Structure 1
Amino acid sequence: MERSLIIVKPDAVQRGLIGEILRRLEQRGLRFIGLKLMWIDRELAERHYAEHRGKAFFEELLSFITSGPVVVGVVEGPRAIEVTRKTMGKTDPAEAEPGTIRGDLALSIAQNVIHGSDSPEKAAYEISLFFREDELVSYERAIDRWIMG
């Protein structure tokens, strides 16, 4: 079972898209094992985006992700990272396929409504930034055998 962090970004929260975004991930068969509404402070944002430190857009990233509340979650399922990323669509919404979250709900690369982990290592790191292990609840749903084989 693989896990991925997702962040429903401030633009999506302000636009009332939380339910729509979570619904799309759940409909794919992913199971939410952690979920919370929070406001990311600068220190946490810097740790989350550490790989981009020194890049021209770093300050813009920090300013945006700390500009309003977000919903952070952990999804679990077979190939959860790949499934989440395909469901999200390409980072640039102009290049994202229709039917993806970004392809349908976003217009700007700077405000692209959702973040998802891009590798198992990154997922483990990101999840540890936002959740303690005791905040994650693994469980089995009755439909899992139909979704996960």
Structure 2
Amino acid sequence: MKVLDTSGILRSDLDFSRNKYIITNSVLSELLDESARVAVEAALKSKSIILAEPREDFLKKVKEAAVKTGDISEMSSTDLDILAVALERNLVIISDDYRVQNVASALGIEFETTIHEGIKHKLKWFKVCEGCGRRYPMESDLCEICGSRLKKRAMKL
């Protein structure tokens, strides 16, 4: 059984009849593509896809990991949901989202991609002042010292 991200559904030709998958309600609500939605709804009826919601304690662990990697500000609630479900059930995630892959890697969750190559390294994201070079967490926008804008940077872990 594997957990599907929205990108894992939209960018793939997965055969839902061959394997069992899990999605969250938030993934289902992101499916605006009519053909993908019809395929997923048929798979839900045949129980090839199962709906699951994350427990709060696992969501908290995922959010803590996303803060540590610096990915939290760029992640949707759907991203956090699928990571929490995968962590709770010890399942593989199918996603082409690099931030999902980075946090999954930090949590020891295996992931697979559909069309893109997965991440090669774990990353920690931070911001750097364009003026004085001081480092800041991802939540910051302006340098406290010189008032300059901050740029995103990543460091391999």
- TM-score tier, shorter chain, comes to under 0.3
- TM-score, scaled to structure 2: 0.26
In the superposition, the TM-score normalised over structure 1's length comes to 0.27
The structure whose Rg is larger is: 2
